[in-house]
């Protein structure tokens, strides 16, 4: 039986459409990406509502290898080339998207000060999404398709958002997990082919301006009559120190469990977690420590089960960002000599 949220979503959508005419224009407010107050569209040229910004980065990575391996372990990589477009179409409606690779893009509309709707290729509101990347397992995995989930998990669909003074909520329907591996079992870290639908809920509790907790749930049928349930719990806390060396300490932690049912053999789980501590110092210097574990299949222990540590020094110079990072990758079985030393330069524009 499908979860109730997949049945009530069309009903919520109908209610939202009926409320469009009742929206109060004075209650609109921009989110964090916009710094100017809303003004009537008729008094401005359309171009004044367009904003372009982006990110480009290049890194060089060094990893041990021997003569039997392809010698591509020390090379330059372009990790990001992202161009974003933000367009305010009217005081309550906005488009936001990454327009080069179409990583994500969506239209958002505020019905009133608390309720809104997003539709398009939306960021799936599961877990911690403030930085777009999921780090369940301990790192982003720049050189692959993500560890537990896609590096940027975005799918076509709808999301109803509620934002109050101390809590936020999301209820969404998106394209579900469809990729299968050689054992005919679901691969969560690959994008959907849009042939299946899924949905979920996320509840965010804002304890104060420095800390929050998020509980997430996601459901889909990864093939007909085969269910997949995903549960997540994430928390973050920011501590103000204002010492001679460190100004703030940002702490994050999270865990996610995926229950995969009705396979050709037996049910199993995937699990990932992470902990991150970031010390922000004077002169835009930061030191970041990450740790995480990933269990790919609860039925066995193999090379896909990992623990990861990383330590990074980050220096910002105006719009530039430089990072020197060492990442230790520890496989549960058949340990590989695949640790990485990475230097990355990036620019925001």
Write the DSSP assignment of 145-202 as a string of letters.
Answer: T-SSS-SB-EEEEEEEEEE-SSEEEEEEEEE----B-TTS-B-TTS---SSSEEEEEE
- Residue whose tokens read 């990861």: 308
Range scoring the smallest mean pLDDT among 7-16, 48-57, 328-337: 7-16
pLDDT score recorded for residue 78: 73
| CATH of 4-348 among 2.40.37.10, 3.40.50.300, 1.10.1670.10, 2.40.160.10 | 2.40.160.10
Q: Which of 131-135, 162-166, 274-278 has the highest mean pLDDT?
A: 274-278
The total of other beta-carbon atoms located within 10 Å of residue 12's CB is 15
Query: Could you tell me the pLDDT band of residue 176, with boundaries at 50, 70 and 90?
Result: very high
199 and 174 Cβ atoms separated by less than 8 Å: yes
249 and 143 Cβ atoms separated by less than 8 Å: no
pLDDT score recorded for residue 14: 47
pLDDT score recorded for residue 131: 80
Query: Could you tell me the pLDDT band of residue 207, with boundaries at 50, 70 and 90?
Result: confident
228 and 260 Cβ atoms separated by less than 8 Å: yes
Query: Could you tell me the pLDDT band of residue 96, with boundaries at 50, 70 and 90?
Result: very high
Domain layout of the chain by residue ranges: 4-348
pTM over 0.85: no
Query: Could you tell me the pLDDT band of residue 12, with boundaries at 50, 70 and 90?
Result: low
Mean pLDDT of 258-281: 95
Query: Could you tell me the pLDDT band of residue 9, with boundaries at 50, 70 and 90?
Result: low
Of residues 229, 273, 277, the one with CA closest to residue 254: 273
pLDDT score recorded for residue 293: 96
User: Average pLDDT, whole number, for the chain?
Assistant: 84
The CA distance from 178 to 187, in Å, is 8
The CA distance from 341 to 135, in Å, is 18
Residue-wise burial string across 245-264, b where 16 or more C-beta atoms lie within 10 A, e elsewhere = ebeeebebbbbbbbbbeebe
CA 69, distance to chain mean position in Å, is: 33
The CA distance from 2 to 227, in Å, is 9
The CA distance from 126 to 256, in Å, is 10
The CA distance from 259 to 48, in Å, is 48
The CA distance from 161 to 171, in Å, is 7
Give the percent of the chain with pLDDT over 70.
Answer: 82
pLDDT score recorded for residue 32: 36
- Residue whose tokens read 């103000």: 240
pLDDT score recorded for residue 31: 35
Q: Which of 29-43, 216-230, 241-255 has the highest mean pLDDT?
A: 216-230
148 and 294 Cβ atoms separated by less than 8 Å: yes
Strand runs (DSSP E) across the chain, as ranges? 50-62, 74-90, 93-98, 105-110, 115-123, 154-163, 167-175, 197-208, 211-223, 226-240, 246-260, 268-281, 285-295, 306-317, 320-331, 340-348
Query: Could you tell me the pLDDT band of residue 2, with boundaries at 50, 70 and 90?
Result: low
234 and 149 Cβ atoms separated by less than 8 Å: no
The CA distance from 216 to 198, in Å, is 14
Maximum CA extent, the chain: 69
- Residue whose tokens read 């974003």: 84
The CA distance from 63 to 275, in Å, is 24
List residues bridging with 65 in a β-sheet: none
The CA distance from 275 to 293, in Å, is 10
């Amino acid at each position: 039986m499908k979860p109730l949220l997949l049945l009530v979503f069309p009903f919520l959508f109908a209610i939202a459409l009926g409320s469009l005419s009742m929206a109060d224009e004075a209650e609109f407010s921009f989110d964090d990406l916009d710094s100017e107050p809303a003004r009537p569209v008729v008094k401005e040229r359309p171009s004044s509502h367009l904003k372009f910004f982006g990110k480009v980065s290049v890194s060089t990575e060094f990893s041990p290898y021997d003569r039997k391996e392809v010698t591509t372990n020390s090379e330059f990589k372009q990790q990001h080339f992202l161009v974003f477009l933000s367009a305010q179409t009217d005081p309550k409606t906005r488009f936001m998207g990454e327009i080069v690779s179409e990583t994500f893009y969506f239209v958002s509309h505020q019905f009133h000060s608390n309720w809104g709707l997003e539709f398009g290729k939306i960021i799936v509101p599961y877990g911690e999404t403030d930085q777009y990347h999921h780090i369940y397992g301990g790192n982003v995995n720049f050189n692959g398709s993500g560890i537990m989930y896609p590096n940027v998990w975005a799918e076509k669909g709808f999301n109803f958002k509620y934002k109050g003074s101390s809590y936020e909520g999301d209820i969404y329907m998106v394209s579900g997990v469809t990729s299968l591996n050689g054992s005919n079992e679901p691969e969560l870290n690959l994008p959907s082919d849009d042939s299946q639908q899924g949905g979920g809920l996320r509840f965010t509790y804002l304890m104060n301006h420095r800390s929050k907790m998020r509980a997430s749930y996601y459901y889909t049928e990864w093939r007909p009559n085969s269910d997949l349930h995903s549960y997540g719990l994430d928390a973050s806390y920011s501590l103000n120190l204002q010492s001679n060396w460190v100004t703030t300490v940002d702490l994050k932690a999270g865990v996610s469990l995926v229950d995969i049912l009705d396979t050709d053999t037996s049910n199993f789980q995937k699990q990932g977690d992470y902990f991150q501590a970031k010390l922000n110092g004077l002169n835009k210097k930061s030191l970041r420590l990450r740790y995480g574990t990933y269990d790919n299949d609860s039925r066995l222990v193999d090379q896909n089960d990992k623990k990861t540590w990383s330590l990074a020094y980050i220096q910002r110079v105006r719009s530039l960002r430089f990072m020197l990072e060492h990442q230790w990758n520890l496989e549960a079985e058949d340990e590989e000599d695949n640790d990485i030393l990475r230097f990355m330069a990036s620019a925001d524009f």
